[in-house]
Structure 1
Amino acid sequence: MKLRLKRRIQLSRKRPLMWRLRARQRWHDRWHRHHAHFKHSIGARLIAVFIVLAALGGLILWGVQEGRYGMVVAGFLLFLVIGLAFGAIRRMLRPLRALAAGVEAFGRGDLEHRIRYFHRDELGDLAHRFNQMASDIQAMLDGKRALLLAMSHELRSPLTRARLHAELIDESESKEALLHELGEMRDLISALLESERLGSGHSALQLRKCDLAALVRESVDAEVALQIEPGLPLLAVDAMRVQLLLRNLVANALRHNDAGRGPVSVALSRAGQGVRLVVRDHGPGVPPEALGQLGEPFFRPDAARSRNEGGVGLGLSLCKLVAAAHGTRLELRNAHPGLEVAVSLA
């Protein structure tokens, strides 16, 4: 046994210095890996906090039993230790609040939002994966938008040629039907292009001071009843997009209005520093359960908004996008009789 021990000592002395340095470096690397794993593991840090809390609590109870201090001091020390532990745990779980805010932003469609994380622990890794998911979804939506815009542009040329050929056909019911269908296809392509442009947000708007009262008078037909409050302020809006919104709302109202009950009305009134636009018809309205879905692309309620009566199904969707680009929203409600759509611009 002694001979073996002596041989090992002699061999260890004969080993080169570089080998011993490498062994020490491997030991240091292992220690740093374990330290990093502990530092970036929220579970390990929570265990450390609980161990420290238990140790300090035990010391306080031992001090009470030994008579070193009274119950009041012990209670204060316990309260202080628990408060420090609570603060440490709250700090460790701070990324959860950032995750909640990020998920809420993603739910609103703000895919450019990025969740901040402070440690590459489990929560930090989760936040990183959420950010990567948002980037992937944004890239997918951008690709879809680019493809849709390219297809819509490419479809315009053959559609224009088809309409020119249809104009050369002799007058008949078939010609009128064909021109009507071609017109609906043109409207659909224009609506899709405008939807994708507005989908990019405020960058699609050309804001200028605009007199909404004059814009309404120019845009609506004589059969529409106007109720315009005098002295309305000028607003910085995209006049072409607001005109598009107004025409779609009025066209939708005229399509479904019952003239026997009353005319379609357009009202402008002051709303704080802005202007409130209200369009109302006196038609059958929509079922209450379908009211929340109005404004979705290609959505039509049942008999109240049928395909034969309606357009391409993107009118209210475009209006919703125009309102959102101006920082507001459409308000839809059944007016009994009819449907009322309102939007507040500022």
Structure 2
Amino acid sequence: MSHPYDHRWRERWQRNRAKRARRMSRDGAYRWRLRHRWHQRWHHHHKQFKHSLGARLIAIFVVLAGTSSLLLWTSMRSPDVLLLCVMGLLGVIGMAFGLIRHMVQPLHALAVGAEAFRRGEFAHRVPVIHGDEIGDLAQRFNQMAADIQAMLDGKRALLLAISHELRSPLTRARLHAELVGEGESRDALLDELAQMRDMINALLESERLGSGHSALQLCEVDLAALAREQAQPRLELLIEPDLPLLRLDRLRVQLLLRNLIHNALRHNDPSRGAVQLSLQRAGTGLQLKVRDFGPGVPPEALPQLGQPFYRPDQARTRHEGGVGLGLCLCRLVAEAHGSRLVLRNVEPGLEAAVTLR
């Protein structure tokens, strides 16, 4: 016969066993949370270390200093291994140099990207090599280029739309002006309308040339023949014989010649001489020069020439005509052909030079 109170001992033992189980469970959960928290913290610091270029450089210098000190201490205790210590030190230095060069290698890509952006090549993208601060900077560079390109595309689309829409009312205004009786008012009105038409055409052409080489229609062009087509009384042609043909856009080169000559004639002083148009060989290409004998432009204004709507006060006035798009078109035509428009004072006058290949 079992004792009638045995179930009390059994219940107490079961309660104690449940308490021990709960305590062990709490201790295991705590240890797991502690281990998991340490693991997360380690991953966080490891991520920060990989992202920080300065931290990795400091780590390399610390390892280099520690290894150098250890090798120096070893060589002092045992002079027989001095040569091995020196070789080991050189190896460590070479390894540190390689690691540092690998870490700063993306800086060269950033420099190349900055130069491309300076030239207006916003389609260029900087490669993101590492996921550190330099990688973040490369991503910001690429985002900046995309934003600028989108802004320029929007500006170009808006300008093209406005220019196209202005053509129709301008044509109607010219037709109405021609119905007005002859006189100074009619001539002045037609002249102003003609200037507006030329400005709209120049804006449209400048936006087309904004896409660079893709806007050109290249063919074999006799540049000397194009220059002779511009012959007029106040223009002196200096053309070297037997010049080769070049692959150019004939209409755009005609526009270049016409604008350069028109600009030179407008500011030339005939008493000093006629405007000179020279064409000669320059390496594998041809160099085109147009020089006038006018007052020139101030030296501080030379870098601004060729910018849209820029007109130096000393050289141009509104009554002489022109809105500052002629040289801008010349610059765009030259750049679309892979060249550049060079403007300089030649005492007296101004010289514009373009080398075409």
Going from structure 1 to structure 2, the CA distance change for 1:237 and 1:36 (only over 3 Å counts) comes to same
Q: Does residue 341 in structure 1 map to residue 338 in structure 2? A: no
Partner of 2:92: 81
Going from structure 1 to structure 2, the CA distance change for 1:54 and 1:225 (only over 3 Å counts) comes to closer
Cα distance in structure 2, aligned partners of 1:79 and 1:192: 64
Cα distance in structure 2, aligned partners of 1:200 and 1:110: 10
Answer whether contact 1:220 1:250 (CA < 8 A) is retained.
no
Cα distance in structure 2, aligned partners of 1:8 and 1:94: 61
Cα distance in structure 2, aligned partners of 1:248 and 1:133: 35
Q: Does residue 240 in structure 1 map to residue 251 in structure 2? A: yes
Partner of 1:273: 284
Partner of 2:342: 331
Partner of 2:301: 290
Alpha-carbon RMSD: 2.6
Give the superposition deviation at 1:30. Answer: 4.9
Answer whether contact 1:245 1:322 (CA < 8 A) is retained.
yes
Q: Does residue 128 in structure 1 map to residue 139 in structure 2? A: yes
Q: SS at 1:51's partner residue?
A: helix
Partner of 1:227: 238
Give the superposition deviation at 1:126. Answer: 1.1
Give the superposition deviation at 1:263. Answer: 1.5
Cα distance in structure 2, aligned partners of 1:210 and 1:191: 23
Partner of 1:318: 329
Answer whether contact 1:63 1:69 (CA < 8 A) is retained.
no
Partner of 1:218: 229
Letter in 1 for 2:226: L
Going from structure 1 to structure 2, the CA distance change for 1:290 and 1:43 (only over 3 Å counts) comes to closer
Give the superposition deviation at 1:14. Answer: 5.1
Going from structure 1 to structure 2, the CA distance change for 1:77 and 1:341 (only over 3 Å counts) comes to same
Answer whether contact 1:291 1:332 (CA < 8 A) is retained.
yes
Partner of 1:194: 205
Match of 1:45 among 43, 52, 56: 56
Say how many residue pairs are matched. 341
Q: SS at 1:295's partner residue?
A: coil
* Residue segments in structure 2 that go unaligned for 5+ positions in a row: 1-16
Match of 1:138 among 141, 145, 149: 149
Partner of 1:98: 109
Letter in 2 for 1:152: S
Could you give the per-residue CA deviations for residues 141-187 of structure 1, whole angstroms, max 9, x where no partner exists?
Answer: 11111101111111111111111111111111111111111111111
Partner of 1:3: none
Cα distance in structure 1, aligned partners of 2:186 and 2:41: 83
Letter in 2 for 1:262: G
The percentage of counterpart residues that share the same residue type is 64
Match of 2:182 among 171, 179, 185: 171
Give the superposition deviation at 1:25. Answer: 6.5
Cα distance in structure 1, aligned partners of 2:293 and 2:319: 19
Cα distance in structure 2, aligned partners of 1:23 and 1:60: 39
Answer whether contact 2:156 2:207 (CA < 8 A) is retained.
yes
Could you give the per-residue CA deviations for residues 105-138 of structure 1, whole angstroms, max 9, x where no partner exists?
Answer: 2122221111112221111111111111111111
Report the structure number with the largest CA radius of gyration: 2
Give the superposition deviation at 1:190. Answer: 0.8
* Residue segments in structure 1 that go unaligned for 5+ positions in a row: 1-5
Going from structure 1 to structure 2, the CA distance change for 1:8 and 1:254 (only over 3 Å counts) comes to farther
Cα distance in structure 2, aligned partners of 1:14 and 1:289: 83
Stretch of structure 1 that moved more, 65-74 or 235-244 = 65-74
Normalized against structure 1, the TM-score is what? 0.90
Give the superposition deviation at 1:68. Answer: 6.3
Give the superposition deviation at 1:291. Answer: 2.1
Cα distance in structure 2, aligned partners of 1:82 and 1:9: 58
